[in-house]
Amino acid sequence: MRLKDKVAIVTGAGSGIGRAAAMLFAAEGAKLILADLDNADETAEAIGANARGYAADAGDEDSIRRLVRQAEEHFGGLDIMFANAGISGGLKGIFEQTPEDWQEILRVNLIGPWLAVKHAAPAIKERGGGSIICTASVAGLRAGAGGPAYSASKAGVISLVETAAAQLVGSNVRVNAICPGLIETGMTAPIYQWARDKGRGASIGQLNPLQRGGEPDEIAKAALFLASDESSYVNGHAMVVDGGLSASHPFRKLAYGQTAA
Active site residues: 150
| CB-based contact 63:34 (threshold 8 Å) | no
Q: How crowded is residue 38: how many other Cβ atoms within 10 Å of its Cβ?
A: 9
3-state helix, strand, coil in the chain (%, to 5): 45, 15, 40
Provide the residue type at 183 as one letter. I
Integer Cα distance of 243 and 212 in angstroms: 8
Q: Which of 96, 60, 89, 86 is nearest to 149 (CA)?
A: 89
Strands 173-180 and 31-36: unpaired
Continuous H helices in the chain = 16-27, 40-47, 61-75, 99-106, 112-126, 148-167, 189-197, 216-227
Across-strand partners of 52? 33
